[in-house]
Structure 1
Amino acid sequence: MAEGGPAGAGLAQTLLLVVLFVAALSALPWLIRRLQQRRIGLLPGAAGTPSRVLSSVAVGPQQRVVSVEVGPAHARTVLVLGVTAQHISCLHTLPAASFAAEVAAAQSVQAAQTVQPLQPDAPRHATS
């Protein structure tokens, strides 16, 4: 058994290296995802501000109109995008403040139209 000692140590060292290599390979996707999130600003303490989808409307089977708020906090911009399965195109760009004002105005008009009282029907005479 005295001769098996150095060979057993070499085998244990090789096994340890294989286990560390597999652990490093399995941790790599998590590390890459974490670095990408930090880069685009999704983690606390990261630089930048994340984008935010404000609305999305389907206009066809694989076609949407999407409004997205992007940019730094002091200069947010709203992009209106046309999105298909193959292409994304910018349809309109406007400052976030003016977009918020337009949305508020549209909501107040819509609320005023739905609150209008219904006209009473003319009295009906029962016919027997």
Structure 2
Amino acid sequence: MHALFRLLAVGRLAASARTHARLAGLRAAFAAAVLALSLAGIAFLVAAGYQWLRWRLPAPEASAIVGGGFLVLALLVAVAGYLVVRRQRRRTEVPAVDPAAIGLATLAPLAGVVSRIPPGVLAAAVAGFVYGMRAREK
């Protein structure tokens, strides 16, 4: 009876994981669309800024200002990323569900089935598996 409850719990966890995976996929798709549109907008703004600088300054100075601005922006993003990663390392994550418990819950019914198989059949199956793995290595 307990094995049945464990199987139901694992089934619920699997359904929950599928739902979370589907939502993560949707978030990733929308994030990719937002990223692409944002990059296009930024590219047009940079081009307009360069043109504005080009009307007021010679080409080398305008290019140096735009390039230097991007280097400063890259430095700011690198420092922000370093700080975020350092903060995340300090946090200790506690798993929501113990992976060992999930493994035991899924293997418990299998152990009951395997215990009813004659030892000779089990030995032949293991020998076939090992033989197949050795053939694959060659």
Specify if TM > 0.5.
Answer: no
- Bigger RCO (CA 8 Å, 6+ sep): 2
* Structure label with greater radius of gyration: 1
Structure with bigger strand share is 1
